[in-house]
Chains A and B, each alone.
Chain A
Amino acid sequence: MSQATLRVQKISGHAGPIPGEGMQREDQVCKLVDTTTCIGCKACEIACQEWNDLPFAQTTFDNTYQTMPTTQWNFWNLIKFNEQPKEDGTMMWLMRKDQCMHCADPGCLAACPSDGAIVQYTNGIVDFQQDRCIGCGYCITGCPFNIPKFNPTTKKVYKCTLCSDRVSQGLEPACIKACPTGCLHFGTKDDMKDLAEKRARQLREHYGFENAGVYDPPGVGGTGVIYVLHDATNPEAYGGLPANPSIPWAVRLWKTPLRWLGNLAMLGGLVGVTLHYLRFGPKTVHNGESEKRS
């Protein structure tokens, strides 16, 4: 698509059908992250910040090579570093690029009550439209990967756009282009799956990683970012990558059987209270500070 717009296939908080849904076909785009060739250089972190003109954050040394504990509203792409001892006394130093997974079934979009604040394009990119964001933060609750982050100044939520501006112009995302080792790759979902499976097989057959495999979790319908892991049986070791991510039950509830309620303004507040509890109540924080010693 070589125009400054992207076609939409899912819209948050939207009553009724999606205009033009299913009228045109388009390939799903996908990022492949091969953690077995990631050197944690953080080129992707800076490429992301530079391309998106994000203001630089003040960070503090935290006993790790990791730039900060989690992504922030102005830091969408973070390498998570984990020292992993092995049984034979040697060790691994796992590095994983953390960012929006661009789920096929996005929990953020499902949770969002504001019409059009979160959209999913027909190429699979999940994008936030900040002019429609009401700052409720429900998307944060809906995300099983702890990605969207709230900016208290603008009262809006931000995350990786998968460089939708670049992709719409026929360019690859900024992080992909920068990656020095080629551990990041970009293409159609089918091609990336194929490449990932081949790499996992190579790791099993030639490099002794018996459990090497591909991470493309079905709980969220598969993702627009997939990983090759040395040990696909233990994604949690890679800075808390959830083994079986899914959309929280309350969001599911709101999204499906009770969705009609959302169209009734008088009940909107009730739903809001429920979601607010979920948002600011119990909440798992994947803070990736596994190198931290105390």
Chain B
Amino acid sequence: MTKTKTLKNHKEIYLPQKVKILDVVDMTSDVKLYKLEQPKGFFYSPGQFLMASVWGAGEVPISITSSSELHDDIELCVRKVGAVTSALHELKAGDYMGIRGPLGNGFHFEEAYGKDILFVAGGIGIAPLRSLINLVISQKKKFGEIALVYGSRNPSEVLFVPQLLDWKKEGIRTTITVDVKNAECEYCTGIVTEHLTRQKISFKTGHSYICGPHVMLKAVMRDLSLMGMSQDNIITTMEAHMKCGVGKCGHCYADGKYICTDGPVFSYSEIKQYNLLNSP
């Protein structure tokens, strides 16, 4: 098992740590990638998240898109959707922001050793998966076939394009699909579920890691399960409105589970058991 480090017994669980922004990269019109200076002794697992904090605006949970083992910085992929993310988008390289974490359980991908892996991402859902995909690729020999289905609304919203090419070179079977295609792009069209059946992996023994909007999650998990994948092997990371990230504020509470501390990574069987996608 990867060691999952959290804020455990941290004296001030609500006080953000001040970190320097090393670089800000414009990914699309409304998505930016932040490279943050990593504090000493900071270690995280793929799938864990941070509470990103801007004094005066507030805090939002953002998943970490870099991998502790492979990157020297912490990378966050932020889409501008509300007050806090808008305030984050005002920040430039050299500015400081607050972080609390790492929080949450993270992916325990050791369970997929020797098996095929299917990654399914929708929109900005590629961000938390990227942390895991890079780590899996770095230990490629330990896994069987690796495939990725990544859906976006339109070609201009596809994130991490150069990285997607690298992954392809590494032998990942990559399917990029968009809702609306323009003339010169080579992406497929349609929603991600339309491309699941064509993946060259063993659905019976394979593992799947999924992240995307709720509607997509529901459809993909249902379809994979119908195609014979074990519900314990269909793993997803959930998003929720969180204020504290440490199981106190109650905002992400659903059927006896806190998405922040018990998750955000859950298997399909857990999601069904705790009614997480349709809380209560």
Bound pair (A, B): no
